């Protein structure tokens, strides 16, 4: 029996990608995939934290459960009844809400389900919804919106993130060429556009690009400054790819109940990501 929480094998991924290339649309399915007994393991948390820049002792990063749900997302999108090929999808936005503290050793039940179709002027957008439960109570939720490029889509209008001013420099990062491969090892997301210059060129990029969820996690790590998270919400819109190697900078608005932030290029001319963050703190747990 396949463990739904395990990363999709390279063979299964290749087969799913090939099947996806033959798809010509279809009905958006109403599907839920579940995995019980998903453990928050300290070794995995530490490896993820190191790659994404979270401080030691910062507990479970707010973004960490996303990678536990990622195998379920991939299995859902690689299924024969899913209407869009997974390769070539654009990750438009991601929203995370954490309701309660998480700690190493927690046992979660994770469910990923298809959400709704969303209209976008560059194609058909859709959402995938994730819920993580501990002892039957929802402790973490995530929504990812993806875009299949093409003619204008149908459904409700895809959400647009309207953040406040974010113009104060916070940190600047130089990203190595192997960042995509390093993040793939801790996240299970081995999409070739992130791990290989050749793979990226096959999909129209001049070189490999950073994972959007790494960029989001790196921003959270900087904005929390080593403080563990009890509960909170973070929403981002991915605006433009971050090429590897490269240099980017984080800018943010005033620190308050809700803080706007942006990731821009080194010159401040191009916005790669825009987001907003509101958090509560907790005592370290890992």
Task: Kindly report the CATH number assigned to the domain that includes residue 74.
Answer: 3.10.129.10
CB distance 4 to 41 below 8 Å: no
Proportion of the chain above pLDDT 70, given as a percent: 89
CB distance 230 to 280 below 8 Å: yes
- CA atoms of 231 and 61, how far apart (whole Å): 11
- Return the DSSP state at 209: B
Q: What pLDDT band is residue 270 in, cutting at 50, 70 and 90?
A: very high
Whether residue 5 lies inside any domain: the answer is: no
What is the separation, in whole angstroms, between the first and last Cα of the chain? 31
Rg (CA), the chain: 18
- CA atoms of 221 and 223, how far apart (whole Å): 6
Q: What pLDDT band is residue 1 in, cutting at 50, 70 and 90?
A: very low
Mean pLDDT for all residues in the chain: 90
Number of structural domains (the chain) is 1
Whether residue 38 lies inside any domain: the answer is: yes
| SS3 of residue 228 by DSSP | coil
Does residue 237 register a pLDDT over 50?
yes
Q: What pLDDT band is residue 11 in, cutting at 50, 70 and 90?
A: very low
Whether residue 286 lies inside any domain: the answer is: no
Neighbours of 171 (CB within 10 A): 16
Does residue 66 register a pLDDT over 90?
yes
Whether residue 40 lies inside any domain: the answer is: yes
Does residue 15 register a pLDDT over 60?
no
Structural domain containing residue 61: 10-281
* CA count, 13 A, side-chain hemisphere, 23: 23
Choose among 264, 281, 286: nearest CA to 273: 264
Tokens read off for 214: 């790494």
Please state the rounded mean pLDDT for residues 228-254: 96
């Amino acid at each position: 029996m396949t463990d739904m929480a395990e990363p999709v094998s390279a063979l299964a991924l290749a087969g799913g990608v090939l099947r996806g290339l033959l798809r010509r649309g279809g009905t958006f399915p109403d599907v839920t995939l579940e995995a019980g007994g998903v453990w928050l393991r300290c070794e995995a948390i530490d490896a993820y934290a190191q790659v994404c820049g979270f401080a030691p002792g910062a507990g479970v990063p707010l973004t960490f459960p996303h990678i536990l749900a990622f195998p379920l997302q991939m299995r859902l999108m690689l299924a024969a009844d899913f209407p869009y090929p997974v390769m070539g999808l654009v990750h438009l936005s991601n929203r995370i809400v954490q309701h309660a503290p998480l700690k190493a050793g927690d046992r979660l039940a994770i469910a990923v389900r298809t959400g709704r179709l969303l209209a976008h002027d560059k194609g058909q957008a859709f959402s995938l919804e994730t819920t993580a439960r501990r002892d039957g109570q929802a402790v973490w939720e995530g929504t990812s919106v993806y875009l299949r490029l093409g003619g204008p889509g149908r459904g409700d209008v895809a959400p647009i993130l309207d953040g406040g001013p974010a113009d104060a420099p916070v940190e600047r990062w130089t990203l190595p060429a192997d960042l995509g491969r390093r993040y793939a090892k801790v996240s299970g997301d081995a999409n070739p556009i992130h791990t290989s210059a050749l793979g990226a060129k096959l999909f129209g990029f001049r070189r490999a690009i950073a994972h959007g969820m790494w960029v989001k996690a790196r921003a959270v790590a900087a904005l929390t400054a080593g403080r563990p998270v009890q509960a909170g919400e973070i929403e981002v819109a991915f605006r433009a790819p971050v090429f590897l190697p490269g240099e980017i900078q984080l800018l943010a608005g005033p620190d308050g109940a809700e803080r706007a932030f942006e990731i821009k290029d080194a010159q401040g001319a191009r916005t790669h990501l825009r987001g907003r963050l509101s958090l509560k703190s907790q005592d370290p747990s890992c």
